[in-house]
Amino acid sequence: MSRNVPESRSATTTKDLAHIITATEPAVRDLSLDERCHHSSFDELLAECAQLETFRHQSFNLYERVRACFFLYALHRFHLPSRPELPVSGRIPFEGYAHLLERRFEEAIALFLRAQQANGPSDALSSALAAAYHRLAFQTLADQVRRSVRSVRGNQWMFRVGHPHDQPLRVRPEMLRPATGASFPF
């Protein structure tokens, strides 16, 4: 005799978050991350972060990489800090912080993850990782838009400017002369 027993929420595995990202069925793809993580243990959340980081590097799909970044952002920003097991104090590597300021998010993430592996997770590192993942997601999207715009033949003139005189757009001469009776510049 077989029973239909719903899967336990605590049985949520790391595969589930990657599966949510890659799912084509709306019922799975639109599942709430909060709901999936609410009943996960602290160790399960850390394992999910590690799995998503690996998934993010292995995926060739832009949507999957960006969504994995946003999942990692949410895990480090909201879910891990709400757990009492996460130490409040911790150190953030200065070099990682400098990379973050220089918009070198991949390098910052790598340093923060090495520090987490060496010293254990902390609220400070989770905060730094959340900031890096959040910014990396938007940088990834901006890079894709830039590549798309540059690949259209009609837009290539925008990217061939090496000197101001190379700019094909010109200001009409009448716009450079003051209007009679008006102060210049306006």
Residue 109 lies in a domain: yes
What is the domain extent for residue 80?
9-149
Residue 18 lies in a domain: yes
pLDDT tens digits along 122-162: 999 999 999 999 999 999 999 998 888 888 877 776 666 67
Residue 177 lies in a domain: no
Residue 2 lies in a domain: no
d(Cα 65, Cα 60) in Å, to the nearest integer? 8
Residue 4 lies in a domain: no
Is the whole model's pTM more than 0.85, yes or no?
no
Residue 129 lies in a domain: yes
Cis peptide before 185 (omega within 30 of 0): yes
d(Cα 107, Cα 132) in Å, to the nearest integer? 10
Residue 160 lies in a domain: no
Residue 112 lies in a domain: yes
Q: Angle at the Cα of 126 (from 123 to 131), degrees rounded to 5? A: 130
Please tell me the total count of domains within the chain: 1
pLDDT tens digits along 168-178: 677 788 777 77
CA separation, residue 60 to residues 21, 64, 92, 149 (Å):
13, 8, 30, 20
Cα dihedral 33→117→123→142 (10° resolution): -60
Report whether 38 contacts 95 (CB < 8 A): no
